[in-house]
Structure 1
Amino acid sequence: MSDANGHAPWGPAAATGIGSMPGTEAREAAKTATGLLEDPQHLPFLPELPARGPGADMLGRTAGLLAELYVHLEPSGWRISDRPGRETRRARAWLGEDLDALEEFTQGYGEGDRPRGIKVSVVGPWTLAAGLERRNGEAMLGDHGAVRDLAASLAEGLAAHLAEVRRRVPGAVPVLQLDEPSLTAVLRGSVRTASGYRTHPAVDRAVVESTLRELLAVHDGPTVVHSCAPGVPLGLLRRAGADGISLDLSLLTERDDEAVGEAVEGGVTLFAGVVPATEPDSGALSDPAGSVGGVRSLWRRLGLSPGLLSESVVVTPTCGLAGASPAYARAALAHCARAARALADNPQ
């Protein structure tokens, strides 16, 4: 995973967040997401603040990026509209605030021999198709033509968004993350219809893969696909061209070992979610080395070189931090940085 000069826009012993943060203040969130990851080896990110309400949530925020497709909010969820309404305008305004704050706290990121990376997250096409409703109230997932139109609209809007990030943070390297928590359900045919009595048929894996490949190809820099759901399709994501796969490490089983090994040996970076996303009872942030013990165990099972560990793993929370307190969110990101350092210092 590298920039145009052949370097990953982070160093060994890297840490990052997933995307969502608690609270409603864009400046405070941007300060945290950049300041706690200020060392050059880490990967700062553009925060999402779903606590602000509809339009700042995961689906609404990404729907605001769509080109020539609009949404409005119904009691059942987000639904396609004929024209932009207040929810679309609100989503775009909040994203503008987030970009203003990011720009403020990333001055000089494009300078130096090794420009900094900035990770930006949008909902991927399959989770978006499972979560957005057609005018009849059914998910767009149930109409193949609608899914194609949605993916094309997302691709166009995403290209404009990445261009805006480059304009706001000149010289920095955007890292694109597609959030796909519904991807496993789409592949298994377990996304429920509006009635709740049936499920949408499983989508052909080749169609899922090709759609993801087309979306990832919109960006000419590093790409990551994130899911904190069980059963992440590691092989499919690798074949689709993801440079990194972000997941909750505790949900991997030994049945996943072969796919993980093939991905890592193929150059895919593992964004390993090892730090709890919500505040546990006690002790979770007291032992940085212990937090990455599962990563070391995985490496030993796979028979991979310990020397490659800090180069091939980025330490993250298990999922977004929106459900945490602001104090815990800050502590969790700081702990990710310490855990990444511990992994580099003692890979055995």
Structure 2
Amino acid sequence: MSEKRKQTPWGPAAATGLGSMPGTDAREAAKTVTGSLETPGHLPYLPELPARGPGADMLGRTAGMLAELYVHLEPSGWRISDRPGRDTRRARAWLGEDLDAIEEFTQEMAGVGGGGGEGGGACLKVSAVGPWTLAAGLERRNGEAMLGDPGACRDLAASLAEGLREHLAGLRRRVPGATLVLQLDEPSLTAVLQGSVRTASGYRAHPAVDRAVVEGTLREVFAVHDGPVVVHSCAPGVPVALLRRAGADGISLDAALLTERDDEVIGEAVEGGVTLFAGVVPSTESEGGALSDPAGSVGGVRSLWRRLGLSPGLLAESVVVTPTCGLAGASPAYARRALAHCVQAARSLADNPQ
């Protein structure tokens, strides 16, 4: 295979996390993330703290970013509202607290992260739920998922795009000079494509959405950001080829779920310059997270590289090491160890790519 690499704002042998962190203290989470990933080349990120409750969860946090669409919480989940109420205000307040914290701990951002791209400057990753997981998770006023109404899906994607545009502009003001990396979380994307998202009754499923429609919507949302876009899913069957065609610069997945059947699409994506964000570090202690062997953690990535026939010298440039999923279910102490382990495992890819 012939390889070509895109310029990236992170460096070779990079590590990052996937968004969520344990606890309820935004300052402590921001301190942990920026401290663990402070070495130039790694990718610090804006933490999410779902333990704080509704509005700090993945769906509620992103719903609070929507432009001219509002939500409220029902027993069945988040539902579209006519006007901003208490739940929307709370989601926005939690996000504001997170932004204040990351701004405080990135005052010296020129020395944090970065080092991989043309400018070699700092970078910061921010995440939001992607349009299809949002459509599968948000309810219309009748209690059914927005996914069941193509017009509602289009309106939701447009609202998300405008909300993300405003969110990114605000971050640029708070952390001037940093290159922002946008991560879109799409754990429901495979289910949307397969037609396995259940209706409110649970007796049937919403029809599969046409792949061209899914791809086009993703492309439109990606276009709001002029920097790198990464799509994350820790579900099985991530549609790597579709995401690559839509323009994703990075694809983040649980590497343990890959099989040899995935080799061709992974190889084509890497050949095309897509960075593989490889989830290899257990996200909780219960997953067997002894964290004693950084080189062993990326052994499967090395094996994948050999099967693909790619140059070992490009391994550290083409892979970013991450936990398998968010760290919200871990203890604060384990979350710190897991991020440190990601850094050590990434370094081992550069030191010993074979």
Tell me the TM-score range normalised by the shorter chain.
over 0.9
- Structure 2 residue 208 is the aligned partner of structure 1 residue 208: no
Secondary structure class of the residue paired with 2:285: coil
Structure 1 residues 83 and 340, CA gap change in structure 2 (3 angstroms) = same
- Structure 2 residue 188 is the aligned partner of structure 1 residue 188: no
Unaligned runs of 5+ in 2: 1-5
What is the correspondence of 1:46-125 to structure 2 with a 5 Å cutoff? 46-110=46-110, 114-125=120-131
Q: Which deviates further from its counterpart, 6-15 or 240-249?
A: 6-15
Letter in 2 for 1:119: K
Question: Of 250, 275, 285, which aligns to 2:281?
Answer: 275
Unaligned runs of 5+ in 1: 1-5
Kindly report structure 1 stretches of 4+ aligned residues shifted beyond 2 Å. 110-114, 280-284
What is the correspondence of 1:258-337 to structure 2 with a 5 Å cutoff? 258-280=264-286, 284-337=290-343
2: CA distance, partners of 1:83 / 1:276: 41
2: CA distance, partners of 1:22 / 1:107: 23
2: CA distance, partners of 1:172 / 1:103: 11
Structure 1 residues 83 and 283, CA gap change in structure 2 (3 angstroms) = closer
Look up the match of 2:32.
Answer: 32
Question: Of 144, 158, 180, which aligns to 1:174?
Answer: 180
Deviations 1:190-248 (A, max 9, x none): 00000000000000000000000000111000110000000000000000000000000
Deviations 1:63-114 (A, max 9, x none): 0000000000000000000000111001101101100100011113247962
Letter in 1 for 2:293: D
Look up the match of 1:3.
Answer: none
* Paired residue total: 343
Secondary structure class of the residue paired with 2:44: coil
Question: Of 149, 167, 176, which aligns to 1:143?
Answer: 149
Look up the match of 2:166.
Answer: 160
2: CA distance, partners of 1:186 / 1:283: 31
1: CA distance, partners of 2:18 / 2:209: 27
TM-score by length of 2: 0.95
Structure 1 residues 109 and 7, CA gap change in structure 2 (3 angstroms) = farther
Structure 1 residues 170 and 255, CA gap change in structure 2 (3 angstroms) = same
Deviations 1:127-173 (A, max 9, x none): 00000000000000000000000000000000000001111100000
2: CA distance, partners of 1:290 / 1:89: 45
Q: CA RMSD in A?
A: 1.2
- Structure 2 residue 227 is the aligned partner of structure 1 residue 227: no
Q: Does the 8 A contact of 2:193 with 2:209 survive in 1?
A: yes
Secondary structure class of the residue paired with 1:297: helix
2: CA distance, partners of 1:318 / 1:281: 10
How much has 1:280 moved relative to structure 2? 3.6
Q: Does the 8 A contact of 1:275 with 1:284 survive in 2?
A: no
Secondary structure class of the residue paired with 2:48: coil
% same residue: 85
Question: Of 217, 223, 235, which aligns to 1:217?
Answer: 223
Letter in 1 for 2:85: G
Look up the match of 2:3.
Answer: none
Structure 1 residues 62 and 281, CA gap change in structure 2 (3 angstroms) = closer
How much has 1:282 moved relative to structure 2? 5.2
Structure 1 residues 148 and 224, CA gap change in structure 2 (3 angstroms) = same
2: CA distance, partners of 1:129 / 1:28: 32
How much has 1:309 moved relative to structure 2? 0.1
Letter in 2 for 1:30: A
2: CA distance, partners of 1:41 / 1:176: 17
